[in-house]
Amino acid sequence: MKKIYLFLCLLIAAGCTQAQTLGANSGIPPYHILTTDSVYVTPANLKKNKPVMLIYFAPDCGHCQHLMYDLKPQLKNLQDMQIVLITFVTQLKAIQVFQRDFDLAKYHNIIIGTEGYTYLVQKYFQIKNTPFIAIYDRNGKISKTYDKVPTIPVLIAAAKKV
């Protein structure tokens, strides 16, 4: 009887572990972010049949700022991609300054906001460092993730493939 109980416990533990790792592979995380315009946005607000680039960032992160400096000249090449910038930082002023510094408001395909203290996206991908980048195809299926910043040509090529 003890062996059966132990076997069931191991089976349940393995199932729970698998369920946690499957989340990042199953599609766009069910985020709920507050934008710089004080509007809440979810994946339901994304346009259908358009690829998505999700960037998890921190406004004061040097690597995140460097990514945006390098990516900004290439944003015209990503007009068909929806770009969602999500942070855990709750101060809207800091996010607004980041948006202003990189002149992101003029790009209609970019959404920027905070997930607040939910850390849903951070947990979904088990993010340990920023920036984290995930690229999704037109059907919302994950195509590529980057735990570390890739070169801009590599990122643009991955975005063009979807």
Cβ-proximal residues to 9 (8 Å cutoff; 6+ apart), any chain: none
Can you list the alpha helix ranges (DSSP code H) found in 23-82?
62-71
Instruction: Collapse the DSSP code of 42 into the 3-class scheme (helix H, G, I; strand E, B; otherwise coil) and give the result.
Output: coil
Per-residue pLDDT tens digits of the chain, which is 162 residues long: 554 444 444 445 444 444 444 444 579 999 999 999 999 999 999 999 999 999 999 999 999 999 999 999 999 999 999 999 999 999 999 999 999 999 999 999 999 999 999 999 999 999 999 999 999 999 999 999 999 999 999 999 999 998
- Extents of the domains making up the chain: 27-161
Structural contact between residues 24 and 54, judged by C-beta atoms closer than 8 angstroms:
no
Name the CATH architecture for the domain at 27-161: 3-Layer(aba) Sandwich (3.40)
pTM for this model (two decimals): 0.84
